[in-house]
Chains A and B, each alone.
Chain A
Amino acid sequence: MKILIVDDSKAMRMIVRRTLRQAGFEDHEVEEAENGSTGLDKIIEWKPDLVLSDWNMPEMTGIELLHAVRGAGNQVLFGFVTSERATDMQETAAAAGAAFLITKPFDGDTFKAALGAVV
């Protein structure tokens, strides 16, 4: 599986990589993008099977990225990894086509539960 991590924090991208390994997803290809705009370019170019995206980012937010992806007819599996845990955010994410929303902070078990349900 090809997994794209989209987050403006390099530290968080590293933590998501580590947590994927802890959750048992160590044998997958992982690429990164630093905001929604470069994330969109990467989705078009690399065609990942799963996108893990932050919400708040410069250039293009995660929800804007998801709207752009779905607007182009791309049904790639998409989930948010974000500190935004409010109910209205979760509803907005689901309505836009996100399969799940993992809230920060998280651990390997959180990832296993969220990704295991959809992968």
Chain B
Amino acid sequence: MQLTSDDISTLTLQVCESILGLPIETDGPSVDSHEVPVSGTVWITGAWDGAVAIRCSRGLARTVSGAMFDTRPDDASSDEIDDAIGEIANMIGGNIKSLLPGPSKLSLPSVAHDELVADRQTQSGQSTTWNFVVNGEPFAVTMIVKSGPDGDDSSED
């Protein structure tokens, strides 16, 4: 099955609206790496090999944590932020995985607060990024593909 931009938009919308209750706009502008230093990444291995990473600002990471833990964003601890961002990556990555060739396995999420870590991941394969605006702040979903024998990246755009 070929993954489309509409698929990515739809599932990202569902996560933001039903789990976070945050407003989201699709077709957001591209942003510089330093504007979205917080990343959550899951790796998919098997019939499809690659990763799904979400990236956001430190402020949005706090807002996401506050939404999930039902606390004020300013009160979010670093552990809570890692938990929340990791779980969002898990949800978006898991849903993307279901639309990719299988069988495959989904890793536990990892979270980083340094844009250089996310940049290195993005550069580790062929990547495609979808940009959104969540609660007025940039939010990016990136698929990083390790090319298979036939070079199929399983995404249309």
Q: Which residues of A contact B (CB under 8 A)?
A: 8-12, 14-15, 18, 56-58, 82-86, 88-89, 103-107
Residue of B15, B65, B87 with most chain A CB atoms under a 10 A cut-off:
B87
Verify A105–B102 contact, CB threshold 8 A.
Answer: no
Cα–Cα, bound, A56→B44 (Å)? 12
Verify B65–A83 contact, CB threshold 8 A.
Answer: no
Cα–Cα, bound, A9→B94 (Å)? 15
Verify A14–B103 contact, CB threshold 8 A.
Answer: no
Interface residues of chain B: helix, strand, loop or mixed (majority): helix
Verify B90–A56 contact, CB threshold 8 A.
Answer: yes
Whether A83 contacts B69 in the complex (CB less than 8 A), given A9-B90, A56-B106, comes out as: no
B80 contacts partner chain A, Cβ-Cβ < 8 Å: yes
* New contact pairs (11) apart from A18-B70, A86-B103, CB-CB < 8 Å: A10-B80, A11-B65, A11-B80, A15-B68, A56-B106, A84-B94, A84-B106, A89-B98, A103-B95, A104-B91, A105-B18
Verify B98–A8 contact, CB threshold 8 A.
Answer: no
B40-76 contacts to A, CB under 8 A, are 65, 68-70
* Interface residue tally on B, bucketed by range: 20 to 34
B1-36 contacts to A, CB under 8 A, are 14-15, 18-19
The residue of chain B having its C-beta at the shortest distance from the C-beta of A83 within the complex is B94
Contact of B91 (CB < 8 Å), options: A57, A86, A105: A105
Verify A58–B19 contact, CB threshold 8 A.
Answer: no
Cα–Cα, bound, A82→B87 (Å)? 11
Whether A15 contacts B19 in the complex (CB less than 8 A), given A9-B90, A83-B106, A88-B102, comes out as: yes
Contact of A104 (CB < 8 Å), options: B65, B69, B80, B94: B94
